Chains A and B, each alone.
Chain A
Amino acid sequence: MAVQTQPAAIELKNVTKRFGEVVANDRINLTLRKGEILSILGENGSGKTTLMNMLSGIYFPDEGEIIVNGQEVTIRSPKDAFALGIGMIHQHFKLINILTAAQNIILGLDGPAQLDMKKIREDIKALADQYGFELDPDRKIYDMSVSEKQTVEIVKVLYRGADILILDEPTAVLTPQETERLFQVLRNMKKDGKSIIIITHKLNEVMEISDRVTVLRRGQYIDTVETASTDENQLTEMMVGEHITLDIERTEPVDPHRRIDVRGLTVRNREGLKVLDNVSFVAKSGEILGIAGISGSGQKELLESIAGLQPGESGQILYKDPQGNVEELTQKTAKQIYDMNIRLSFVPEDRLGMGLVGDMDLTGNMMVRSYKKGKGFFVNRRQPRELAEDIVNRLDVVTPGITTPVRNLSGGNVQKVLVGREIAASPAVLMVAYPVRGLDINSAFAIYRLLNEQKEKGAAVLCVGEDLDVLIQLCDRILVLSEGCVSGIVDARKTTKEELGLLMTSGRKKASRETVKENPQNGAVSTGAAAAGSKEAGHGRD
């Protein structure tokens, strides 16, 4: 075999990984050149993370070769990976909260019994300066924001001498400013000769940072292209496998009237911090009210307050039914709201942790909201079973059967089950939080269609979203939350992403100045907030 003058940093040949009958990676070929940034692009479930986990020693490939720096290697553990200079920064950080950054960085390394912490600190500082990180080695992890924790993870692998870095969706938790800073660091590393793989499904980031793009689809290798010679439309098509029109049909609201009236709602969390501050708004029947904001600005608490899952401190929540009767929902529990016969459906953010019961089958999950129906001591399973079958058929849920525990379904199918159930109750109010998170493009559009259908049937739809482009296309009005305050309610047909972005951060300084007096910890909370919403969509449109 001809020896290349400059062997690739990593070469994968026909790598296959199966989980039971599922082929997560099917004969994948991939080359990472030295000193380049390679994006791996693919929808959820396309096998990006599995592939990278084989490089970092977490999984072991069933077939195929891994060649690092021109040598065929066997990577059986993360230790082997480090020995080869491969370091992975996982999506979920693997840090110990009560230790300092420096302690986390050296954790697990061989060393003398007596540690020279002074030298370790200096080494870490030197690394940070070299690439442009900001990092205090003596800070405890629990004091850090998400982006600082990520920095610790990156320095951790650099400290171990990695010259091939793999980052799994590093920007998913960062604000736009933090993302920009990370990209600058990545460019510095590239200049220094490091080879970098970045896993993402955000097209604009692919275009911005990478030299080349490798596209995976459903475990298959599709192609590798030079970033400079492609565009977002072409990448989308490679990713999805078909040309799709990314338009959401929006109808004019028909006969809107007040359905939910929130007046001066203030909510404190367990730590006593104000998570909602004097929030007032009206949600009307027959319209979709979008709720935008940096993640952690009170969206979750707002929906949960209306659903009766979050007791408020002050303020009022009123419900006006289609006949015009007004009921007070303030301080009611979910059970009381159910007993009042109010058809209020809620798709919470945490699907398996709140909306569904992971270990139960589809039928059991259909019963979550309706098991109390009917008199008597025993449950009726027939109707839920029919509903489960109906949802599986109507929404194309991919499942071996309705007796499969929902935990075993993929994210998109879990969401279809949950949304399907909530819509089946023909709600007067439908609240959804991040309804398309983790879904492939086609499923996402199926969900948008379902929301529109409910709107046309006269439900008041409240939709918390992180993708501003989608909110602008889907909603009639958009409420922007900032630090728990309503910083604006705008007409979605007239607003722009820029306007929303400004509103999302407008309350920030003002609010933090106010809350600092009450509780100095609030600052730490806000810096950790992720601003997924202000980023451009992962679903590549234009």
Chain B
Amino acid sequence: MAGTKTGTKNVLHMVRRSDMNRGKALVIRLIAVLLSLSVCALVIVAITGENPLSVYSGIAAGAVGTSRRVWVTIREIAVLLIIAVGLTPAFRMRFWNLGAEGQILIGGAATAAVMIYLGPVFQDWLLFIIILAVSMAAGMLWGLLPAVFKAYFNTNETLFTLMMNYVAMQIVTFFVVLWEKPKGSNTVGVINQTGKEGWFPQIAGQQYLVNVILVTVVTILVFVYMKYSKQGYELSVVGESYDTARYAGIDVKHVIIRTMLISSAVCGLAGAIIVAGASHTISTSTAGGRGFTAVIVAWLAQFHPVAMIATSGILVFMQQGAIQIATQYGLNENASDIITGIILFFLVGAEFFIRYRLELTKVETGSAVGENK
């Protein structure tokens, strides 16, 4: 023992939790949300030098300050939610559809095309139905390709769907030039501004109520499909193991393609909701990264619909708030990205603490340092 320094020191260990229940998990997530809000405020205060309370009220005002802002926030939540819902069947099948961005764009482009070319021809109710059908079909087309290649040649769907995003972006660039209005502006401008042909109808004077209803219906349908249908059961077996699926007598190829068609159809529909239900224009930033944000929303919520509403809710709330702060204190549009980043950091971190806990253990020092060979 002589010559060995002894003493004690504390070491940290990661210990897997076994005592986690829903209530505790919820508390941890709430703490994470509170922490993220405080850090967001700190960052903004550090930049602007303003009183944190006024920063908070600025965020709240930006998100829910006026009835119009409330509706914009709801509209954005609905869009993020439906994309996350669309991703759910594919993800449950462990088909990593990172192509929501492209599926949204192509669905949006199809919607814009219907509005421009068929807007003057058909009645509003017919246009509405055509838009829903065409946008879903366009999304499906974008999902069909990677699904077929995955099913028949086992190609990597992550790269394939990701690449399809760029193809969609180029196609939209082409149409932006084609539909440019006014000439030389390099934008499409608001489509059918005067007649509002193809715009989603107003219900009870609310412009975005149709969006909300559509998203609610789709969300319920998808979750009933996932939970109670034979097809939903099949896709979760396929997600677990192709061998088990074959053993169960499931046609794996068929299920991959069918599930991806559903997933991409919903994402295409999201494109229609953005174009015909919100912005009434099309550009390469129509999807605006929401195809990727939705991946995180779906994951964090572990595909649970109510949790998805909560996650997309807090993200959108802070983003909308950030837009307000940015104008109020002269920050640029990146402020919103920073805030999203901070929130996600804490939410993802919370998942770690739900699964593990850190423990301090006292150990003897010096003793582990045995004689080196």
Instruction: List residues of chain A with CB under 8 Å of any chain B CB.
Output: 19-22, 60, 68, 71-76, 80, 83-85, 160-161, 307, 309, 333-335, 337-339, 346, 348, 350, 352-360, 364, 367-369, 371-372, 377-379
Tell me how far the C-beta of B4 lies from the nearest C-beta in chain A, rounded to whole angstroms.
8
Q: How far is B241's CA from A318's CA once the two chains are assembled, in angstroms?
A: 29
User: Known contacts A74-B363, A353-B241; is A379 also within 8 Å of B228 by CB?
Assistant: yes
Q: With A19-B18, A358-B240, A359-B240 in contact, do A68 and B249 touch (Cβ < 8 Å)?
A: no
Beta-carbon contact of A357 and B228 below 8 Å: no
Q: Enumerate chain B residues within 8 angstroms of A356, measured Cβ to Cβ.
A: 244
B231 contacts across to A, CB distance below 8 A: 377
Q: Which of A22, A75, A355 contacts B244 (CB 8 A)?
A: A355
Give A489 to B371 CA distance when docked, in angstroms: 59
Contact A357–B18 (Cβ < 8 Å): no
A333 touches B243 (CB 8 A): no
Name the CB-closest residue of B to A69.
B370
User: How distant is the Cα of A307 from the Cα of B370 in the complex, in angstroms?
Assistant: 57
A50 to B367, CA, bound (A): 22
Partner of A309, one of B17, B18, B247: B247
Specify the chain B residue showing the minimal Cβ separation from A60: B13
Q: Cβ of B267 < 8 Å from any Cβ of A?
A: no
| A20 touching B18 in the complex, CB below 8 Å, given contacts A83-B369, A354-B247, A355-B247 | yes
B 62-77 binary contact with A (CB < 8 Å = 1; else 0): 0000000000000000
A354 B241 Cβ-Cβ under 8 A: yes
Contact A353 B11 (CB under 8 A): no
CB of B16 closer than 8 Å to a CB of A = yes
Q: List 11 A-B contacts (CB under 8 A).
A: A60-B13, A68-B370, A74-B364, A83-B368, A309-B247, A353-B241, A368-B248, A369-B249, A372-B249, A377-B230, A378-B230
Q: Residue B24 at the A interface, CB < 8 A? A: no
**CB-based nearest B residue for A372:** B230
Closest beta carbon of chain A to B101's beta carbon, Å: 28
Since A357-B237, A379-B233 are in contact, a sample of 10 more A-B pairs with Cβ atoms closer than 8 Å, ordered by chain A residue number, is A19-B16, A71-B370, A83-B368, A333-B249, A334-B246, A335-B250, A335-B251, A355-B247, A357-B236, A369-B249
Instruction: Please tell me which one of the listed residues B16, B240, B368, B370 contacts residue A20 in the complex, with CB atoms under 8 A apart.
Output: B16
Contacts of A60 in B (CB 8 A): 13, 361
The interface residues of chain A lying within 8 Å CB-to-CB of B373 are 85, 160-161
CA of A369 to CA of B364, assembled, Å: 56
* B23 CB, min distance to chain A CBs, angstroms: 18
Q: Shortest Cβ distance from A124 into chain B, in angstroms?
A: 15
Cα distance A368–B230 in the bound complex, in angstroms: 11
Q: Which of the residues B237, B247, B368 comes within 8 Å of A348, measured between beta carbons?
A: B247
User: Which residues of A have CB within 8 Å of B369?
Assistant: 83
> Are A74 and B237 in touch, CB under 8 angstroms?
no
Query: Given the complex, which residues of B lie within 8 Å of A348, measured CB to CB?
Result: 247
Point out the residues of chain B lying under 8 angstroms from A74, CB to CB: 363-364, 367-368
Residues on B with beta carbons closer than 8 Å to the beta carbon of A76: 11, 363, 368
Q: Are A20 and B17 in contact (CB under 8 A)?
A: yes
Q: Within 8 Å CB of A379, what residues of B?
A: 228-230, 232-233
Taking CB atoms, residues of chain A closer than 8 Å to B185 are: none
- Smallest CB separation, B250 vs chain A (Å): 7
Residues of the A chain whose Cβ atoms lie less than 8 Å from the Cβ of B251: 335
> Is there an interface contact between B18 and A346, defined as CB atoms closer than 8 Å?
no
Determine the residue in chain B with the shortest Cβ distance to A307.
B247
Binding site for A on B (CB under 8 A): 1, 4, 11, 13, 16-19, 228-234, 236-237, 240-241, 243-244, 246-251, 361, 363-364, 367-373
**Known contacts A74-B368, A84-B370; A378/B229 CB under 8 A:** yes
CA distance A360 to B234 in the complex (A): 12
Question: Within the complex, what minimum Cβ distance (angstroms) separates B41 from chain A?
Answer: 37
Rank and list the top 7 A-B pairs by shortest CB-CB distance, nearest first: A20-B18, A161-B373, A335-B249, A354-B243, A84-B370, A357-B240, A74-B363
A334-B229 in contact given A20-B19, A60-B361, A76-B11 (Cβ < 8 Å): no
Residues of B within 8 A of A72 (CB): 364, 367
The answer to whether B249 touches A346, judged by C-beta atoms less than 8 angstroms apart, is: no
Nearest CB of chain B from residue A237's CB, rounded to whole Å? 33
A368 touches B237 (CB 8 A): yes
Please give, as numbers and ranges, the residues of chain A lying within 8 Å of B17 by CB-CB distance. 20
Q: CA–CA, A68 to B371, complex, Å? A: 12
User: How far, in angstroms, from A335 to B250 measured CA to CA in the complex?
Assistant: 7
CB-CB < 8 A to B240: which residues of A?
357-360
Query: How close is A46's CB to chain B, nearest CB, in angstroms?
Result: 20
**A residues less than 8 Å from B228 (CB atoms):** 378-379
Output the nearest chain B residue to A369 by Cβ-Cβ distance: B248
Neighbouring B residues of A378 by C-beta, 8 Å: 228-230
A360 and B246 alpha carbons, distance in the complex (Å): 17
The answer to whether A73 and B370 touch (CB under 8 A), given A20-B18, A378-B230, is yes
Given B4, B16, B233, which contacts A371 in the complex, CB threshold below 8 Å?
B233
* B1 interface neighbour in A71, A352, A353, A364, Cβ under 8 Å: A71
B236 touches A360 (CB 8 A): yes
User: Which residues of B are found within 8 Å of A75, using beta-carbon distances?
Assistant: 368
Q: Which residues of A contact B367 (CB under 8 A)?
A: 71-74
Tell me the minimal C-beta distance from A2 to chain B in angstroms: 14
For the complex formed, measure the closest distance between the CB of B136 and the CB atoms of chain A, giving whole angstroms.
19
**For the complex, what is the distance from the CA of A164 to the CA of B129, rounded to whole Å?**
75
| Partner of B248 from A80, A160, A334, A339 at Cβ < 8 Å | A334
Minimum CB–CB distance from A342 to chain B (whole Å) comes to: 12
Complex: A209 Cα to B370 Cα, angstroms:
30
Q: How far is the CB of B81 from chain A (nearest CB, A)?
A: 24
Q: Is the CB of A353 within 8 A of B249?
A: no
CB of B170, distance to nearest CB on chain A (Å): 38
Give complex CA distance A107, B363 in Å.
29
A367 to B249, CA, bound (A): 12
Closest chain A residue to B243, Cβ basis: A354
Known contacts A83-B370, A379-B233: A353-B243 contact under CB 8 Å: yes
A372 to B251: give the CA distance in the assembly, Å.
13
Q: B304 CB to closest chain A CB, in angstroms?
A: 15
CA distance A356 to B241 in the complex (A): 9
Considering the complex, give the chain A residue whose CB is closest to the CB of B373: A161
Residues of A within 8 A of B363 (CB): 74, 76
User: With A and B bound together, what is the CA distance between A354 and B4 in angstroms?
Assistant: 54
Query: A417 to chain B: closest CB distance in Å?
Result: 13
Given known contacts A20-B19, A21-B18, A354 and B368 CB-to-CB distance under 8 angstroms: no
The docked-state distance in angstroms from the alpha carbon of A334 to that of B250 is: 8
Contacts of A68 in B (CB 8 A): 370
A105 to chain B, nearest CB (A): 14
Chain A residue contacts of B19, Cβ below 8 A: 20
A142–B333 CA distance with the chains assembled, in angstroms: 53
Q: Report whether A357 and B368 are in contact in the complex, using a CB–CB cutoff of 8 Å.
A: no
Complex CA–CA separation, A350 to B229 (angstroms): 27
List residues of chain B with CB within 8 A of the CB of A359. 236, 240
Query: Which chain B residues border A339 with CB–CB below 8 Å?
Result: 249
Across the interface, which residues of A come within 8 angstroms of B250, CB to CB?
A: 335
Instruction: Give the residues in chain A near B230, CB-CB below 8 Å.
Output: 371-372, 377-379
A19 neighbours in B (Cβ, 8 Å)? 16, 18
In the assembled complex, the Cα of A307 lies from the Cα of B373 at a distance in Å of 56
What residues of chain A lie closer than 8 Å to B16, measured between beta carbons?
A: 19-20
Which residues on A sit within 8 Å (CB–CB) of B229?
A: 377-379
* Contact, CB under 8 Å: A353 / B244: yes
B236 to chain A minimum Cβ distance, whole angstroms, is: 7
Q: Is the CB of B233 within 8 A of A83?
A: no
- The distance in angstroms between the C-alpha atoms of A19 and B233, with both chains bound, is 32
Give complex CA distance A357, B364 in Å: 45
Docked pose: A369 CA to B244 CA in angstroms: 10
Cα–Cα distance between A482 and B252 once the two chains are bound (Å): 33
Central interface residue in A60, A71, A84, A357, by most chain B CB within 10 Å? A357
**Contact B1 A357, beta carbon cutoff 8 Å:** no
Residue of B nearest to A68 (CB): B370
